Amino acid sequence: MTVQIEMPQLSSDGEGATLATWLVSVGDRVEQGDVIAELETDKSTLELESPASGTITEFVVQEGAEEIMAGTVLGMIDADDAEDVPVVEGVAASAGVEPGPPAIVDVGSGIVADTSGEEKDLRGSTPLARRAAVDRDVDLTSLAGSGPGGRVLEEDVLLSADRAPSGNGAVPAAVRNDPGAPVVQMTGSFTTVRLSAMRKTIARRMTEAKQQIPHFYLRSRCSMDAVVDTRAKLNRDLAALARDTKISLNDFILRAAGLALRDVPEANVSFAGDAMQVFEDVDIAVAVATEGGLVTPVVRNVDQKGLTTLAAEVKDLASQARAGKLRPEQYQGGSFTISNLGMYGIESVYPILNSPQACILGVGAAEERPVVRNGEIVVGRVASLTLAADHRAVDGAIAARLLAAIRARLEDPLSMML
């Protein structure tokens, strides 16, 4: 009996995923629960398990296919016992062919219907090649493929698009088909690199956030002497107790922000059209740099946790983020974000809001600077804190109170011990 391998629901916001790698081949024997593929979302790489025991008979969607929605049929299994799994009588229903004008390409099936409704079989090309052909108005049937058996690859499509005559001062197809790209003539040697699902999502969300959300910024200089000294003492005490936990400055900032959001609940909100969502919990996303891009795992109930607990959680989440192993529930949600670039020596950070959150804190480096204390100029450690807020949800006075509360906690770290 034939069983469908379907794309699972990976995101609460209904976004699609990329089929990164098939870990099995057609004809392979698998057991129910075996890992058969890797799926790439905008935040992590997840494993897909076999829904039944049996033999892989077909891949409906090939490696590299993007924006695959939940419920899409990825492949077929000739199952031993399929009483409790979805069954399909044939593959035709999943091909997604829609004949008739305008031209339609089903990237997964490789079927093209041109303006006359005539269907062409382009399964001698990869899914990425078919998608690139649609984006760049390239006729796949005219290309000689460089892949195995003459299969047309994405590189063949990109090369064809770059070679296409564009006229005097015209824009290349790769730029022309992106309405958000600057209208410039590309010159010189370059390599075209496919954007990952994560990078595409980052690009789209950051563009939407900057264009649609009325940002405003507040910046404050914060004395970090007390928190630096307190951190050093706590880490010495932890080492004396043979604890392998080390508290970072970012853990203090996370704790300070959590307590500040509890003190200023008007900032722990999200704009929702004709309503305001006021969050009961203080869940803070912490920006983590990975090879694929910025990931923001969420630390839950920050205001209720001590520094050592926060340090351990952030360390674990950051490790999973860099390994691409975060589960959706570990990076979805959150009511506030912290983006700390101080470890890179950056003086000030002006972050873009992590929609639908209403506030994000940018943190610069704690640097030694001349400061005035009791009428005298002395050397002190000072960091720049920059709060970006959504003016639809948070007024300037509320944002100022929140930033002042964060600063007060950092300048008096003993207040975070209570």
pLDDT at 183: 46
Which domains, from first to last, does the chain contain?
Answer: 2-94 (2.40.50.100), 104-194 (no CATH), 202-416 (3.30.559.10)
CA neighbours closer than 13 Å in the CB half-sphere of residue 295: 29
Residue in this structure with the two tokens 């997840």, named with its chain if needed: 46
Six-digit token pair at 343?
A: 């470890």
Output the CA torsion 328→54→107→40 (10° steps).
Answer: 20
Output the CA torsion 52→53→58→62 (10° steps).
Answer: 60
pLDDT along the chain (418 residues), means of 10: 88 74 90 88 79 92 86 91 47 34 38 43 58 73 69 72 50 43 65 76 88 96 96 94 93 97 96 91 94 89 96 94 86 93 94 94 95 92 97 97 98 90
Is the distance from CB of 142 to CB of 159 less than 8 angstroms? no
Q: Report how far residue 314's alpha carbon sits from residue 299's, in angstroms, rounded to the nearest whole number.
A: 7
DSSP symbol at 197: H
Radius of gyration, alpha carbons of the chain = 26
Whether 391 is catalytic = yes
Phi, psi (degrees; rounded to nearest 5) at 286: -115, 120
Is the distance from CB of 53 to CB of 1 less than 8 angstroms? no
Q: Report how far residue 240's alpha carbon sits from residue 237's, in angstroms, rounded to the nearest whole number.
A: 5
pLDDT at 175: 40
DSSP symbol at 196: P
Q: Report how far residue 258's alpha carbon sits from residue 310's, in angstroms, rounded to the nearest whole number.
A: 11
Is the distance from CB of 2 to CB of 77 less than 8 angstroms? yes
Helix axes 396-411, 249-263, angle to 10 degrees: 130
Q: Provide the H-helix boundaries in 241-325.
A: 249-263, 307-322
pLDDT at 142: 77
pLDDT at 120: 45
Q: Which of 205, 221, 391, 401 is catalytic?
A: 391
Q: Provide the H-helix boundaries in 26-171.
A: 127-136, 154-163
Is the distance from CB of 380 to CB of 372 less than 8 angstroms? no
Residue in this structure with the two tokens 């969050």, named with its chain if needed: 279
